Amino acid sequence: MSAPQLPKVAGIDPAVPTPAHTVAPVPARPAPAPTHAPAPGTVIQDRLAGWVSDLTTLHELTERLARTRDLEDSLREVLSAGAALVGARRGLVVLEPADGLGPAQTVGLGLGHADLGHIETVPRSATPYGRILDGLPDAQGGAEQLPDPDQAPGQDGYAAPVDPRHREVAARLGYAASYALPLAAEPLGRLGAAVWLYDEHTEPTERQRHLTGLYVRYAAEHVARVLEVTRARTRLATVAEELLPSRLPRVAGVRLAARHRTGPRGGGDWYDALPLPEGALGLAVGSVTGSGPSAVAAMGRLRASLRAYAVMEGEDPVAVLSDLELLLRLTEPARSATALFAYCEPARRKIILAGAGHAPPLLIGEHRTEYVETSLSAPLGMLSCWEAPSVEVDPAPGETVLLYTDGLLQRTGDSMDRAFARLHAAAASVPRTVRDDPAGLCDHILRTVLPEGRDETDSEEDIVLLAARFD
């Protein structure tokens, strides 16, 4: 009869030899059953705790998403939250609305521009998210396992053939699996697709899939709303730009440059430069109260009217603004506007200007940087009859006259006195290399007065700069 072996300890055979037995070994007793089974209430409490935890997580993620207003920020938040839910550290979301109206945009998480470029070289039909974007019948998203290079076809982990370019890009970027979901919302339909990349052969659990699906459904609705707002802003900005000069005129003796930044809701700031008889030039800037489509439309009407008055009596800026004020008071009595019109004779380097509640021009040169002294006057439409004297300015050769709207000052967030001082300091610090270039001068002032890209942010205020350098 064979004797039983002693159990191994930590995988090492015992050194003591097995003793001989003359009787049969006593069979081992079965382990006693647990005396206390979990109470039904405990199981329910655990499930409720899990549900509360999931709901809390979804609430926090959706709250963070709801605070985003920009389209790119929304897409980045969707990508980051989804990565946390599915347990991935990299991914990308592709916005490609099915209606073809755009905008098309790709945002990556943990992927640089070069990495995104490599992924875009993979045939779209070879990836789940690509099939979602192309609207193929099997475009349901889900998990995808890429082949393990250490295994041969047919072994576990090599579930299906993969496009050679897809295998090459996956090996270069170091990901082995992916999980993709469509972004879709009514009434726009398919918006795009999101895909998260795993470094190893894995996929999200059933719980992770459920939570991610709930989050993505809400996220798609939010992205759709932000997309509609973005499209509306783009259309409004396009209309506003079309109402402004498509190009500045060329007049002997003077060089012109302009910069215009439109707020997200569209504002009423405008500028104009038009050649006048006998080699003269008319320069104008203005701002209509309010924002949105009505302000943009009023701005277009006001600018068109000023052009007509400037052609008829441009040599008298006071008369031009008086006619404009009368028109505004008769046609739009509930609206007011500021304006400044300058009649320039480049050959004589002479400027006659008048302003209606507008900020004074800035004279910038090598030997002086100073504001032009204009008389205080009310905006157009504020009084029963507007009138203010004109001012004559004689710029020296090489000096630049800068016209601007008060949006430049208000975007600084400072008081008006400090904002004027900031603008003066920026103009006085224009480098010599760009002093003779009106476009470079405008860019320098924008960067200096509004640093850190604040001239491009979604401020409610429009910005207009119009620079005229006299030879």
pLDDT band at 373 (very low <50, low <70, confident <90, very high): confident
Looking at domain 243-470, its CATH architecture is: 4-Layer Sandwich (3.60)
Quick one: pLDDT at residue 223?
96
Distance CA 469, CA 403 (A): 11
For residue 155, pLDDT over 60 is answered with no
Give the per-residue pLDDT at 6: 40
What are the tens digits of pLDDT across the range 188-237?
A: 899 999 999 999 999 999 999 999 999 999 999 999 999 999 998 888 88
> What is the secondary structure of 130-152 as a DSSP string?
HHHHHT-TT---EEEEPPPTTS-
pLDDT of amino acid 342: 97
Whole-number pLDDT of residue 5:
44
Of the pLDDT bands very low, low, confident and very high (cuts 50, 70, 90), residue 333 is confident
**Cβ contact 260:466 at 8 Å:** no
Average of per-residue pLDDT across 257-261: 93
Where do the domains of the chain lie?
Answer: 55-234, 243-470
Give the Cβ contact number of residue 362 at 10 Å: 22
pLDDT, one tens digit per residue, over 112-123 is 999 999 999 999
Structure-block tokens of residue 279? 């080699």
So what's the architecture of 55-234 in CATH?
A: 2-Layer Sandwich (3.30)
The dihedral built from the CA positions of residue 167, 173, 176 and 180, taken in this order, carries a sign that is: negative
Q: Name every residue whose Cβ is closer than 8 Å to that of residue 413 and which is 6 or more positions away in sequence.
A: none
How would you class 309 by CB atoms within 10 Å of its CB: exposed for 0-12, middle for 13-18, buried for 19 or more?
Answer: buried
Instruction: Tell me the C-alpha distance between 48 and 379, whole Å.
Output: 65
Beta pairing, strands 337-345 & 177-185: unpaired
Say how far apart CA 71 and CA 103 lie, in whole Å.
Answer: 10
Q: Report the SS3 class of residue 383.
A: coil
- pLDDT value of residue 64: 95
Residue 31 has pLDDT above 80, yes or no: no
Q: Is it the case that residue 156 has pLDDT exceeding 70? A: no
Residue range 34-64, pLDDT digits in tens:
555 566 677 787 777 778 888 899 999 999 9
pTM for the model stands at 0.69
